[in-house]
Structure 1
Amino acid sequence: MTRPLRLAIVDDYPVVVAGVASFLAEERIHVVETGTALPVLSDVDIVLYDTFGQVQGRDLNLADFVRHSGAKVVIYSWNLKPDLIDEAMAGGASGYLSKVLTGPVILGALERIMAGEAVILVGDHETSVGGAGDWPGRSVGLSPREAEVLALIARGLSNREIAERAFVTTNSVKSYIRSAYRKIGVERRTQAVIWALANGFLTDSSRTIDPALHQRPQASPKA
């Protein structure tokens, strides 16, 4: 493609959206719109759905994001279970990208998707360490997985519900909880919720549209 990709980033956590936007800023990508899990308003090429603390798998209605546009939906996640990827692609996703991928690799994948390919890039299979962008609690050492579990606790989910939402075992959830509690210095669930809500885990219902990019540039006339 000769022009920058027009992208909308969807997630309920401002720090997550800002982190992804910053990570992609150096690539040939224009982040036109950011916001919550609501239908995208702008004329964009791709809706990048960040799965942090969000619905995944069969309960995800991808059509909700692009009701009135031809944008393609791409899942951006560190949850790389094959059955989850299959569900997302069967549900209408045009791509599924791991958060361990570098910016240039993501750009190349998005350009292939715009050319009509269905692209799945899982990268490194270690999904609880590293990762691009940002997430709540990163500054105190929480891994993406620990932060996601804490976000779901703050939303009032039980361990079983978290396991179902994050596609991990209940024992894994308990392990993430123990390590997260140790890092943030709490011992009980109520303390964890209070800490989470005071440290960036409060969801946001706002939407941001870059006024400089809201209008799609007109194609240059042919000579």
Structure 2
Amino acid sequence: MPAGIAKVAVLSPHPVVVEGFSAMLSRHHDRVEVIDLPTSFDDLEPDVVLYDVAALADGDGVDLDELVKATASVVLAVARDLRPDLLGRALSRGVDGFIPLGAGEEELMAGIDSAMTGWQAGDPGPDPVVGSSTSEQRSHRLGADVGLSVREARVLSLIAQGRSNDEIAAEEFLSVNTVKSYIRTAYRKIGVHTRSQAVVWAVQHGVETDAER
């Protein structure tokens, strides 16, 4: 797990689920800070979001789509044994992994630690994110001075041009999870926390936005 405290948000239509997970996480304040999910993704994004799949039972999943497509947060579905169909829907929408609703404290923290490893597609060993089953290969030269890889620089350039995570994945022939992995590592290297900050950084370092073209 990288240095620093993981910022974790819990999203569920059931307050008891939010309270239960938050209580377990709060006992590990040296490793985790429980935060509210921001109302705008110009605000600080959580490192990890625990997303209760029950939210998909009556909703259209727009909130999950936004988390997957427009943030660099690792999204872990909270799976319910009696509704495997909802987990299937969450996985099909691109969540990074999943943990069971009945997960104990040790399993929960293992999931958070797994999500925070910083592993990227192409690194040695399997993807450590709990429940993850997707990964792609990783392979011009923005940010070389701060250690950006070719792919990280390309992804930042596309973000500055207004592309969504899905659009970047399609254009670069990557999975959405892989795109998000590049975004997270790029954010750390350039010292930003939000998509809008990344756009400002990229423009300041010579990337043209769509508006400038």
TM-score w.r.t. the length of structure 2 is 0.45
Higher RCO structure (Cα 8 Å, ≥6 apart): 1
Higher helix share: 2
Larger Rg: 1
